[in-house]
Amino acid sequence: MQCLSDSKDMLTKSDAYNRPVARPRTKPRARQGKHLAELRKAAGLSQTELAEALSVPQSNIAFWEQSEKPPRSDLLPKMADALGVTVAELLNVNGEMSIAKRSSRPPGKVRKVFEDVSRLPRRQQEHIVKVVSALVMQYEQTRQ
């Protein structure tokens, strides 16, 4: 009986189950990874959404955002398109261009929806344009 109560005391004293799962960062994030994370956030995408757009696991996106290694060359054009930048801007880690000036296209989700709309028949596109225009006008009136 004494042995059983000793083991219970050891389990309650142990903090093995209460520690954070992720280790604290010991080194600063690599410039390439930091740049990729900034571009992804500026595009309004989560790691999961970007992974789905590229048909790769989310863990790949997390790895690229933590490392100095850029994504595979076969994914660069597709990634640049999903982020609304050029391949050269994607690989530019010097940060000479501000994220706000990179693209005049709408960010991630909005751009994807409008690309989908562009494939609809013209009549349906016109209806969608009317609805979106009305919503934008209503938003602008409430801001004033």
Q: How confident is the model over 27-67, as pLDDT tens digits?
A: 666 788 888 888 888 888 889 999 998 999 999 999 988 88
* pLDDT score of 2 more than 90: no
Token digits of residue 89: 């801007």
Instruction: Name the more confident of 144 and 72.
Output: 72
- Which CATH architecture is the domain 31-143 placed in? Orthogonal Bundle (1.10)
Q: Work out the mean pLDDT of the chain and round it to a whole number.
A: 76
Q: Which of 40, 47, 58 is nearest to 108 (CA)?
A: 40
Q: Give this prediction's pTM.
A: 0.51
DSSP per residue, 37-98:
HHHHHHTT--HHHHHHHHTS-HHHHHHHHHSSPPPPTTTHHHHHHHHTS-HHHHH--S--S-
Instruction: Name the more confident of 69 and 96.
Output: 69
